[in-house]
Amino acid sequence: MADERIPGIDPGVPPSGDGCDECLAGADPGWWFHLRRCAACGHIGCCDSSPAQHATRHAHESGHAFLTSFEPGEDWFWNTGTQEYYDGPGLAPPSSHPAAQPTPGPAGRVPKNWERLLH
Where b means 16+ CB within 10 Å and e means fewer, 89-108 reads eebeeebbbeeeeeebbbee
Mind listing the pLDDT tens digit of every residue in the chain (119 residues)? 334 688 999 999 999 999 999 999 998 889 999 999 999 999 999 999 999 999 999 999 999 999 999 999 999 999 999 999 999 999 999 999 999 999 999 999 999 999 999 99
Instruction: Report the predicted TM-score, pTM, of the whole model to 2 decimal places.
Output: 0.94
Per-residue HEC secondary structure of 29-85 comes to: CCCECCEEEECCCCCEEECCCCCCCHHHHHHHHHCCCEEEECCCCCCCEEECCCCEE
